[in-house]
Structure 1
Amino acid sequence: MKYSQATNYALHTMMYFVALPVGSTIGVQRLAELQKLSPTYLSKILTKLVKAGIIESTPGVNGGYRLTRNKADLSFLEVIHAIEGTATLFHDGLHHHECLIQDVMTQAEQQMEDYLKERKLIELVGQVGDVTSLV
C-alpha cells in the first residue's frame, strides 16, 4: 500500500490548519513556504480539500483558507479520502463469486480505515510542539 505524495502534503498542511486558532485563515503562499512546496502544486491539493468540505477559501485582505469543520473531529481518513478518493486498494479481477482472497483484503482494508477514522489530527498537534509559531 502506498499513498501519493499529495496525501502526505495534505496531511501536513492540515496540521497547520488544526494548529491555527478557530476561525483564522492562512494563505497558500505561507503554507507553501512552510513546507517548501510550489504554491501551484499546493493549490491543487487545497482545491481537493475545499471540494471535500474540509477547508474553505476566504477572499479579501485577510483572506486565505480556513477550516470548515470542528478541528477535534478531523480524521486522517477524511483527508486521505479527499486526496485519494474512496476506491478500494485491492481489486480481484478474476470475478469469482466467493473469492476468499478478496474477503481477506477487504477486511484488512476495513481495519486500516477504521483505525485512520479514529485517529484525529489534533492528537498530533500537541506532540509536535508549538506549530502555531510557524504560522
Structure 2
Amino acid sequence: MKFTKATSHALHTMLYLATINANKPVGVQVLAKQLNVSPTYLSKILTKLVKEGMVTSASGANGGYSLSNGWESISFLDIIDTIEGRSSLFDCYDHGPDCPIQKVMLSSEEKMEEELRKRKISDLI
C-alpha cells in the first residue's frame, strides 16, 4: 500500500500552514519553495483542499492560502480522502463478500482508517 506524493504534499502543506499560524494568506510560491515542489503541481493539490473547505484562497497582490476556520478538526483521513479519493485498498474481485481474505483485508483497512480518522494535523503542533 502506498499513497501518492500528492497526499504527502497535502499533509505537509496543511502542517506548514498550521505551524506558521499566519495572519495573512501564504502565496503558492512560498509554499512550493518550503515544500520543494513545483508551484503548478502544488496549485492542483491546493485546489482540491479549497474545494473541500479545508483551505481558503484569496486572490490579488496579498492573496494566497490559509487554513479554514475549524481546521483543528481536520483528520489525516479527511486529507487523504480529498487527494486519493474514497475507495477500498483491496478488492477480492470475483470471490464475493463471503471471501475470508476479503474479510481480513477490509477489517484491517477499517482499523487503519479509524486510526487516521483519530489523528489530526493539530495534534502535531
Q: Which runs of 5+ in 1 are unaligned?
A: 126-135
Residue 94 of structure 2 aligns to a residue whose secondary structure is coil
Counterpart of 1:19 in structure 2 is: 19
Which protein has the bigger helix share?
2
Structure 1 residues 34-75: Cα deviation after superposition (integer angstroms, max 9, x where no partner): 111110011111111112221121123321112124232121
Counterpart of 2:48, as a letter, is K
Counterpart of 1:102 in structure 2 is: 102
Residues 25 and 62 in structure 2, CA contact (< 8 A), matched pair in contact too: yes
TM-score normalised according to structure 2 size = 0.91
Supply the RMSD in Å over aligned alpha carbons. 1.5
State the number of aligned residues: 125
Deviates more, 1:3-12 or 1:95-104: 95-104
The ranges of structure 1 where at least 4 consecutive aligned residues each deviate by more than 3 angstroms after the TM superposition are none
Counterpart of 1:75, as a letter, is S
Residues 23 and 67 in structure 1, CA contact (< 8 A), matched pair in contact too: no
Among all aligned residue pairs of Structure 1 and Structure 2, give the percentage whose two residues are the same amino acid: 47
TM-score normalised according to structure 1 size = 0.85
Instruction: Report the Cα distance in structure 1 between the residues aligned to 2:30 and 2:93, rounded to whole angstroms.
Output: 45
Counterpart of 1:128 in structure 2 is: none
Report the CA distance between 1:96 and its aligned residue.
2.4
Residue 65 of structure 1 aligns to a residue whose secondary structure is strand
